[in-house]
Amino acid sequence: MPTLVMKFGGTSVANLDRIARASKRVALEVANGYNVIVVVSAMSGKTNELVGWVNETSPLYDAREYDAVVSSGENVTAGLMALRLQEMDIPARSWQGWQVPVQTTSAHANARIEAIPTDNIEAKFADGMKVAVVAGFQGISPEGRITTLGRGGSDTTAVAFAAAFGAERCDIYTDVDGVYTTDPRITSKARKLDRIAFEEMLELASLGAKVLQTRSVELAMRYRVKLRVLSSFEEPSDQAGTLVCAEEDIMENNVVAGVAYSRDEAKMTLISVADRPGIAAAIFGPLADAGVNVDMIVQNISEEGRTDMTFSCPFDQVKRAQKAMEDAKASGSINFHDLVADEGVAKVSIVGIGMRSHAGVAAKMFETLRDEGINIKVITTSEIKVSVLIDRKYMELAVQALHDAFELEKAA
Ligand code: ADP
Ligand code: ASP
Ligand code: MG
C-alpha cells in the first residue's frame, strides 16, 4: 500500500477541536487508500513554555535534561491524535521517537537523525494499523537518552520518515497556505509561491523563514522527497499549497524569490585581539566547542598588530559565547581588551537562484536600504543570497522595502 506522511504543526493541533479537524484530514487520506504516517508537533506555545521553564531553572542547562523536558509536548499530541482517530474507527497507534526508534546523534537540543528502521511500524501496518502517529522533534541517542532535533524539528521528522518509508508525498500542514515571498505577517503584499526550488527554500529556511526547518529541506533535496506546504484550515485540493521541488521543475525563476529575516541575532565584537596566524582558530574553536552557532564574521584591518573581530550568533547564545571567550582569555589562548555584545540586531536576506545570472542585485539591495536610512552593520553573500545585519528596530521596514524594490508582489 502506498504511504503518505502528513505533518501537523503546533497551530494545527493547538486544542482538541483542531486535533479533531486534523484527524478528519487524515481519515480522508486513509479513505484514499494510503497507510498514513502522521507527524505531530506539540500544541502551539507548549514548547516555548517548556523551554522557558528549563531556562528559569538552569540558565546554562544540561542539554540532556533540556531534551527530557522539551520533548514531552509532542508525546501529548501524538497520544491524543491516536485516540481521536480510534474514536473515528480508524486503527491508529502513537509512537514516541524511542519506540520507532528514531536513531539520532547525541548532539542534545540539536541532534541529527541517523536512521529510522521501518520494521516496527511496517509490521503494524501489515497487521492492519492504518495510521502511525509519530511524536515529531524527538529521537534517541546511541546512549539511550531522548534527544530533540532543534526548534521546528518536526518538519525534519516528517521528511525523514517520508524518505525512510519511500512515501508518495510529505505534506506539511501549517497555519499559512504555502511558502510566501516573505513572511505574510510582515507585509500583506507577500505572495504565495506555487513552486519553489529546493536550493531557494534551503536558503530561506536557514536565513530565518521558519515555515520549514532547514534540515528538513536538506533531507528532502537529498532524498528527492515530494514536499508540499499547505494550510490545515483550508479545504483539501490537489492544487493547494506550495511544492518544494527541483530547479528544473520550475518554468521561470524570479531573480529574487523571497526575503527572509531573523530577529534573534546578536553581534559580538572582541576588541583588540592580536592579529597573528591562528587567532581565528583560537577564537572560533572554543565558540564551536561551547555550542555557539557563529554566522557572520568580520575581521577589521589591523593597527599595530591588533585588530577587532566581529561575529554574529543567535542572541540566546550570547551568555555561552561570553563564557567561552572569558575562559579562553583566562587560559591564555587569546587576549582581548573588551567583549561588546549588541543584542539589538536582526538579519535581513534576499534569496534567489536568478542572482547567479543577474548582476547588480546586491547593489540594488544596498540602495534600497540607503533610501530608507537604514545602516548596514555586516554583509555576507553567497551565489544565491545577500544578507545584512541591521538594527532590529528597522527590520520590518527593511523587509517591506526590499519586497517592494524587487517587485515581489507580482511573483507567483
Ligand atoms: P508550524 O507550527 O505549523 O510548524 P511555524 O510557525 O513553524 O508553523 O511556521 C509557519 C510560520 O512561518 C507562518 O505562520 C509564518 O509566519 C512564518 N513564515 C516565515 N517566513 C515565511 C514564508 N516565506 N512563507 C510562509 N510562512 C513564513
Ligand atoms: N514543538 C517543537 C518546536 O516548537 C518542534 C516543532 O514544532 O517542529 O520547536
Ligand atoms: Mg514549524
For 235-266, how does the pLDDT look when each residue is reduced to its tens digit (9 = 90+)? 777 668 999 999 888 877 779 999 999 998 99
Closest atom, ligand 2, to C-alpha of 151: 9
Ligand 2 cavity residues, CB under 6 Å = 9-10, 41-42, 47, 73, 136-137, 151-155
Contact 218, 202 (CB under 8 A): yes
Quick one: pLDDT at residue 250? 85
CB of 187 within 6 A of ligand 1: the answer is no
- Of 212, 206, 200, nearest to 241 (Cα)? 212
As given in the structure block, the three cell numbers for residue 96 are 514516541
CB of 183 within 6 A of ligand 1: the answer is yes
CA of 176 to the centre of ligand 1 (A): 7
Q: Cβ contacts of residue 315 below 8 Å, gap of 6+?
A: 264, 265, 266, 343
DSSP structural state of residue 234: S
Quick one: pLDDT at residue 300? 87
Beta strands in 61-180 (DSSP E): 92-95, 103-104, 113-115, 131-135, 138-140, 146-148, 169-174
pLDDT tens-digit series, residues 317-374: 999 999 999 999 999 999 999 999 999 999 999 999 999 988 899 999 999 999 999 9
CA of 177 to the centre of ligand 1 (A): 10
Quick one: pLDDT at residue 407? 95
Quick one: pLDDT at residue 236? 75
CB of 42 within 6 A of ligand 1: the answer is no
Quick one: pLDDT at residue 59? 85
- Residue 277 burial (CB < 10 Å; 0-12/13-18/19+)? exposed
Spell out, as residue ranges, where the chain has pLDDT lower than 70: 238-239, 412
